[in-house]
Chains A and B, each alone.
Chain A
Amino acid sequence: MLGRRRSFIPLLLFFIFFVVFMYGPMIAIFTLSFQGPGGGLTFPMRGASFHWFFELFQPQRVGDFKGSFIRSLSLASIVMILTVMISLAAGLAFRKGFKGASFVFYLSIASLIVPSILLTLGIGLLFDQLGFESQWYSSGLGAHLSWTLPFGLLIMFAVFNRFDKSYEEAARDMGASPRQVVQLVLLPIIAPSLVGVGLFGFTLSFDEFARSLLAMGVYNTLPLEIFGMTTTVTTPTLYALGTLTTSISFFVMGVSFWLITWFRKRRSGQFN
């Protein structure tokens, strides 16, 4: 390709600029969250300390941080497990094909792209009219699933479209029952992708705001609490919170990548 050499450098510079644009502001608040006690919301740093992290755990200052944090972790864990199970089951069903498959598929896509403000209003109203109280573990859970399941399903589609059916045929030829084919052949092969689905389920739920707004009931999840703080908190506590939640997302990503590599290694080990 002739054009490549000349355009490589400008494109590389553009890409670097893009990465800086993506990560720069985040790095700025991570740094600023370690401001000294006298420091403000902007540079320069006035000393360095964990002051604003300790401040975070003073309940009177920044609302219900601890409660909302625990709720968000619990909800994200539940959403993760349900997203993996339901997406996998649905993926298997789509693979075999069923009546109305294309309708259910487009329904899932619609659930993904429907404006969040509309959905959260609808879920709040639905629970209200049915006489149920909105709670994070009922209406809130549903709101999050309406967002994570379509992602999970799309990943399952991508996985099964690339899945080599001859593995299953070989297992069947050797006398495996349908259950054994799934348990001993299919699941181990797609395990890394399932970890990916779980990662999406957890992080998307943990950080979800738009669909949670009117669906959580009395007790806020963490993103809702943070949103409340954006207008009231004018100290680096806000940044400390950002550093903390982002660390959790990074931790979950780290664990997932480790698990994915582990599954891959185990599989290639078995085949050699």
Chain B
Amino acid sequence: MTRYLQITPLLLVLILFFIGPIIVIGVVSFWDYNAFSLIPDFVLTNYEELFSSGVTYTIYLKTLKFTLVTWLVTFLVGFTVAYFLAFHVQSLTWQMALFLICTIPFLTSNIIRMIAWIPVLGRHGLVNETLLGMGLIDKPLEWLLYSDFAVVLAFVHLYTLFMVVPIFNTMMRIDKSIIEAAYDAGANGWQTLIYVVLPLCKSGIAIGSIFVITLVMGDFVTIQTMSGGQSASVGVAMNNKRALLQYPAAAADAVVLLITVLIIVAVLMRFVNIRKEL
């Protein structure tokens, strides 16, 4: 009996603040609205407008592009960092200390970490001043800040940790003798990496990918801030509709986004058993 009492608080929070809101969004996406209020109804206009507008497809394509580029960079960087920590750092104390250094930024504010790029990438920022000083450019690079480049850079800065942690976790479980066996059998470093280590990290990579992809797909604030309001994404579009009080339209957007994300996650979940990973 106690076990059911023990799980009740968690279940209550999830019902009230996860299932409830999603049901409301599903319902409201079929409602009608005018300039002042929401009208309970069952209409398909919100979805019709969404799918008939060319902007929707452009925005989804743009969001997927951000997601793909961010995923690729965070994976390459995250895997390399985790690989270094797991296989090249010898003492456990050092491993844990360096791992901690990697995780600390995760516990600080995302917004502050975005703002922190201003003095580095701005028109008179460190990068531009250095390049000017070295005579490599004769006027400041404008695309460093408030651009798609800045958006991806910020995503990589914010979310690489979500790749490092699960990949490091799976790497630490790899039996070192398997790797020795690969070398003994004549494989070189690259072959061992590609044919032995990489497949064994599959589930860590999948978990990291789920985090990065869902975070980027649903992002609104990073794209808004780092592009200086010049780039669009599904999240930005939703927030704009919300700001115009077009809640049902925003809700329809949310439902389509949720389904898109669920499909991606369902595919990635085929590679992993989360409960076994912990």
Contact = CB atoms under 8 A, between A and B. Distances in A.
Nearest to B235: A117
A90 interface: yes
Interface in B75-114: 77, 80-81, 83-85, 87-88, 98, 101-102, 104-105, 107-114
Nearest to A102: B275
Given A6-B189, A25-B113, A125-B28, A15 B84 contact: yes
B254 interface: yes
B217 interface: yes
B129 interface: yes
Nearest to B176: A1
Contacts of B189: 2-3, 6-7
Given A125-B247, A143-B17, A210 B220 contact: yes
A152 to B, nearest CB: 9
A98 B7 CA distance: 9
Interface in B244-270: 247, 250-251, 254, 257-258, 261, 265
Contacts of A194: none
A104 B7 contact: yes
A86 interface: yes
Given A223-B110, A223-B111, A239-B119, 15 more contacts: A1-B87, A3-B188, A24-B120, A42-B126, A89-B5, A98-B4, A113-B265, A115-B217, A123-B21, A142-B16, A146-B17, A207-B109, A210-B218, A213-B239, A249-B108
A125 B183 CA distance: 59
**By DSSP majority rule, is chain A's interface helix, strand, loop, or mixed?**
helix
Contact of B261 (A21, A105, A115): A115
Contact of B10 (A21, A118, A153, A161): A153
Nearest to B112: A242
B6 A92 contact: yes
Given A3-B192, A18-B77, A253-B107, A98 B3 contact: yes
**By DSSP majority rule, is chain B's interface helix, strand, loop, or mixed?**
helix
Interface in A116-130: 116-119, 121-123, 125-126, 129
Given A18-B77, A117-B239, A146-B18, A90 B105 contact: no
Interface in B113-169: 113-120, 122, 124-126, 129, 157, 160
11 contacts: A3-B190, A7-B189, A93-B3, A115-B257, A123-B20, A129-B24, A146-B14, A161-B278, A209-B109, A242-B115, A245-B112
Contacts of B19: 107
Contact of B254 (A85, A94, A98, A122): A122
Contacts of A199: 107
Given A89-B6, A92-B3, A117 B238 contact: yes
